[in-house]
Amino acid sequence: MPKEPVSSMIKRLLLAITLFSLVACTAQQQKEYIKIRGFTQGTSYHITYYSPEEKNLSPEIDVLLERVDSSMSVYRKNSVINAFNNSSKGYLLDTLLANIVMLSQQFNTETDGAFDITLGPLVDAWGFHAKRGEMPHAHTIEQLKIATGANMIELNDLYLSKKHPGVMIDVNAIAPGYTVDVISDYLEQQRITDYLVELGGEIRTAGKSPRNTKWLVGIDKPIENSISGEDLQVIIELSNEALVTSGNYRKFFVRDGVKYSHTIDPKTGYPVRHSLLSATVIDKKSARADALATAFMVMGVEKSKEWLSRNSGVEAYLISSNTEGEYEIWMTEGLQERIKD
């Protein structure tokens, strides 16, 4: 048999490699991602992930979501959080709530008190639990403030004690982000490396999207009562990071022409009133991003910028309104790099 010339062999080899890469590439693009959607915590969630074995993780995720809800929903009569809030001295928590309390106490210190889960009595008095805006009397606010502050609770293993019988915790500012972490961590335990988990607009991503690129996520324009995803301000590329937005444009009430947002300044006991309309935070985990986004809404633009200059690894996009009512944007350099043009 005549021997094939070396050059021809190389050509054939190159062709084979090219064909192989093409097939591999097409196979990548055709990867079927699994999608799960549903409702929990009074909002919707949506999970997209790639599983080579096509594992349907929906039943296990339902169990996790049910566990979170029965632990920390103030809207559920028999939840663990309500049992704590109704107790006079304290209550033995489940591991999820104990964990969220522990993290929240850390974030309280990190944000110099701006993020505070002990604002429960004030959130209640301002009518944000029952969604009916109320105007509490100044005297009532002063009274309720006595039972607030991170030092009013103490966690020993699973037992959370109160330093005042009126203490009530409210974890709404971190629960969605925390839940996204619970689900994401579960997916990682299952060796899922490409996923996007979204709950109530809070997002965590890993690996690649079905288009074999980074995940693309939008930041909403801060339009009052708008539907998330309908009117986007900007699109961000993410991978192995979480993105959370807090804003005063979804939950608020107007009384005598004054807008009262659902973010309460722990120092005053009143809803914050400044020009910041929304704060978006990118961080590794969504629980911290959620807490920081709320804290930035308390701090306002200048203090948030200062905080960000002192803390590396956190990116932010702040939208405020100027005196003409136009949007004014400020963002960290790292966030600018993630914007998809």
Interaction site with ligand AMP (CB under 6 A): 115-117, 119, 123, 128, 170, 172-173, 246, 251, 262-264, 266, 290, 294, 297-298
Min dist. Cβ of residue 246 to Mg ion (A): 5
Q: Which is closer to Mg ion, CB of 114 or CB of 192?
A: 114
Closer to ligand AMP by Cβ: residue 51 or 278? 278
Residue 153, contacted partner among Mg ion, ligand AMP, none, CB below 5-8 A by kind: none
194: partner contacted, choices Mg ion, ligand AMP, none (Cβ within 5-8 A by kind): none
Per-residue HEC secondary structure of the chain comes to: CCCCCHHHHHHHHHHHHHHHHHHHHHHHHCCCCEEEEEEECCEEEEEEECCCCCCCCHHHHHHHHHHHHHHHCCCCCCCHHHHHHHCCCEEECCHHHHHHHHHHHHHHHHCCCCCCHHHHHHHHHCCCCCCCCCCCCHHHHHHHHCCCCHHHEEEECCEEEECCCCCCCCCCCCHHHHHHHHHHHHHHHCCCCCEEEEECCEEEEECCCCCCCCEEEEEECCCCCCCCCCCEEEEEEECCCEEEEEECCCCEEEECCEEEECCECCCCCCECCCCEEEEEEEECCHHHHHHHHHHHHHHHHHHHHHHHHHCCCCEEEEEEECCCCCEEEEECHHHHHHECC
Q: Residue 144 touches which of ligand AMP, Mg ion, none (CB < 5 to 8 A by kind)?
A: none
- Give the shortest CB-39-to-ligand AMP separation in angstroms: 18
CB-closest chain residue to ligand AMP: 173
> Which does residue 72 touch among ligand AMP, Mg ion, none (CB within 5 to 8 A, set by kind)?
none
Name the minimum Å distance from CB 262 to ligand AMP. 4
Of 104 and 320, nearer to Mg ion (C-beta) is 104
Q: How far is the CB of 187 from ligand AMP (least distance, A)?
A: 23
Q: Shortest gap between Cβ of 247 and ligand AMP (angstroms)?
A: 7
